[in-house]
Amino acid sequence: MVDEQTKIWAAGFFDGEGGLTINLPTKGNNSYILHTSINNTVKESVEIFFLNWGGSLHKEGHGAGTFDKRGIKSNRQAWQVIFDEDEAYRLIIDLLPYVRTKKPQFEFAKEFIEKVKNLRSLRSGRGKGGGKQTGIEQQYRKEAYQIMKRLNEGENLQDISMPISNTIIIPKLF
């Protein structure tokens, strides 16, 4: 159980340093998936997320992926925690009441996880993934990618058309 003071601090830190995106399919993964991460050059700050919500903690290497304000590669070491879907969901639930600048992304990420779990239950097959994605699941994930991209560009959720998203009902799975 994470205490309220830590949740409030973490929400503010995530607002500035965290990221919620839906990644495009790759060769190894043919699905649009939620990517939730927190990055910083101060390991202790990032470790708070790792210790309270799990994830995978690693360093980005000496200057890998870090740039200064002018866009020039930095020699500073960066630390990152990447959360899987279940860890991201717990993080989102805990921080949602306190985040400000990323509140629309948090709300949509929560909805995305819930709808994907619902759609996953409709698949035929066994295993964690439950078999091949249905057409509606593929369409929803593709639409969700566009929605999250637009939210990260500063658009309001109310202004974004969501024909597939609005037709999916979320049963009480949690």
Q: What is the pLDDT of residue 174?
A: 45
Does residue 94 lie in a domain region?
Answer: yes
Q: What is the pLDDT of residue 120?
A: 83
Q: What is the pLDDT of residue 66?
A: 54
Does residue 174 lie in a domain region?
Answer: no
Does residue 114 lie in a domain region?
Answer: yes
pTM for this predicted structure: 0.83
Residue-range definition of the domain harbouring residue 92? 4-167
Does residue 129 lie in a domain region?
Answer: yes
Distances (CA, A) of 20 to 34, 63, 89, 96, 150: 7, 22, 11, 13, 12
Domain of 116, CATH number, reads 3.10.28.10
pLDDT 10s per residue in the chain (174 long)?
999 999 999 999 999 999 999 998 887 677 899 999 999 999 999 999 999 999 999 987 554 555 555 666 666 788 999 999 999 999 999 999 999 999 999 999 999 999 998 888 877 765 555 678 888 888 899 999 999 999 999 998 778 877 776 676 655 544
The structural domain count of the chain equals 1
